[in-house]
Amino acid sequence: KSNGVLFTNRQHIPIILEGPAEPGQPYIQEITPSGGSVGTLITLEGMNFGLERGTGSVYFTPIPVANDVRRSEGTLQNYIAARECDYDYISWSDTEIKVYVPDGSTSGNLLVANDRGVSNSVYFEVSEQAGIKLLNNRRGYQIQYGVQVFNVRSQPENSLFLWVPELCEGLEQTNTEMIREPEPYWDTFPNILVYRLNNLADAGRYTVSHTYWFDRYGVETKINSGKVEIEYDESRKLYTVFTSPDQFIPSDDPVIQDISRSVTGRERNPYLKAKSLFSYMLRRYSYNTSPQVDGVIESIEAREGNSYQYAVVLCALLRSAGVPSRPMAGYLVYDNKRTVRHYWLEFYLENFGWVPLDPALADGARFGNFPDVEAPEEYYFGNMDNQHVIFSRGILPTTKITPQGVVFGKARMYSFQGIHEESTGNLESYTSIWQDMSVINWW
């Protein structure tokens, strides 16, 4: 299905009145430029956008779904929003918004929504792509997960903060509905909720529960390497963040840098760099659910790893080569709704967007009756099925809440984050169980 283009008799086009439909509603007067590719910085001029962004978002028309499978009906559910996790928003004022065209956009209507309402829609042409990206094979899910706290030893005046990931909503995971018990203490952090269990009683028991309903699509990409932009916009925050080392991705390690230089050589095309590093991983590594070593660099020397090590090592190699990339964490669903924690990654191309990779599945990882694909080493470079459930794209933002708080992080969870728990006050000890995702139903 192609993009839609307006075709009508000029004599029948109504005269559009300037200004918002209702007083106070956002209104778009002009978009500059009026078209561009994914990653183009555009400026929206108008009124009533809000003095700051708050809960406001800019919405674009998403790429089509193969076989004409429709998304759920709704004013905004048929759109995709520019994303904080991609650093798409540059500035926001009451009369002007600067935003990058997000991954997954196609030609069609663009609008602004905030707590005052939804703006008029303006046509925006997405062009000059390095390839195409399609959604296919929609699958619906109902899932549940949470945290249990018990064996509490405490005195009055104590608190326990829990940083619990949300299901990651985006291009391929959409139409989300949820029930959260209790309501979070803070819900202002991207893709993560903060719960405060206040004044825990001695020997008390506490539960945080999340239930989600959502649609998950498969992703298919077809990229023309000859049309890939060689140079990145290095001033963009997306580039600086996703090419830099962090607490999970040791892209500045000399071992990583030596391998990256050796494999990519003088190649400048980022797509071909990613292809060569992906192939290197498949040649070098052997998949093992329980490898002999736990460290990332040690796994390179051992030439084996699990999905976590595959994803983190390849992400580090890509970043070292100057290709923006980030690890993904979540679950694979297989057999009769069974789940297993799993890790994969994606890398970014100018004029195209994010490209998914799963080196572990490409190199022979198998789980029950998880669907086999022809030539997995080719399929899982650029394509993704609908049985990967995403909880984090890159590192979720967590920060210590109180100066006297004691923070705890849990290794190899279903998200990449530095802090999971923070205890304060007279909380002597407790036991916590972070329950893995269970699939209640799928269809």
Segment 373-392, tens digit of pLDDT: 999 999 999 999 999 999 99
User: Parallel, antiparallel, or unpaired for β 286-287 and 173-181?
Assistant: unpaired
pLDDT at residue 134 is higher than 60: yes
pLDDT number for residue 296: 87
pLDDT at residue 137 is higher than 50: yes
pLDDT at residue 60 is higher than 80: yes
The closest alpha carbon to 159, from 201, 187, 208, 210, belongs to: 201
pLDDT number for residue 4: 72
Q: For residue 360, give both structure tokens.
A: 């572990």
Taken in order 99, 64, 378, 345, is the CA torsion positive or negative? positive
Place 73 in a pLDDT band, splitting at 50, 70 and 90.
Answer: very low
Place 276 in a pLDDT band, splitting at 50, 70 and 90.
Answer: very high
pLDDT at residue 16 is higher than 60: no
The CA-based dihedral angle spanning residues 384, 256, 287, 146, taken in that order and rounded to the nearest 10 degrees:
-60
pLDDT at residue 18 is higher than 70: no
Q: For residue 211, give both structure tokens.
A: 């239930």
Mean pLDDT taken over the chain: 93
pLDDT number for residue 120: 94
Percent of all residues in the chain with a pLDDT value above 90, rounded to a whole number: 87
**Which residue type is seen at 240?**
T
Is residue 122 within 8 Å of 42, Cβ to Cβ? no
Mean pLDDT of 16-37: 85
pLDDT at residue 212 is higher than 70: yes
A 10 A CB-CB count for 14 gives 5
Percent of all residues in the chain with a pLDDT value above 70, rounded to a whole number: 96
The per-residue pLDDT for range 327-375, each reduced to its tens digit, is 999 999 999 999 999 999 999 999 999 999 999 999 999 999 999 999 9
Q: For residue 404, give both structure tokens.
A: 């006297």
Report the interhelical angle of 254-264 vs 270-284 (nearest 10°): 110
Top pLDDT among 55 and 22 is at: 55
pLDDT number for residue 23: 82
Residues 6+ apart with CB under 8 A from 41: 90, 98, 99, 100
CA 54 vs CA 47, 175, 246, 275, 389: distances in Å: 16, 22, 28, 39, 28
pLDDT number for residue 127: 87
Place 256 in a pLDDT band, splitting at 50, 70 and 90.
Answer: very high
Mean pLDDT of 106-118: 94
pLDDT number for residue 76: 81
How deeply is 287 buried, as exposed, middle or buried, from its count of CB atoms within 10 A (0-12, 13-18, 19+)?
buried
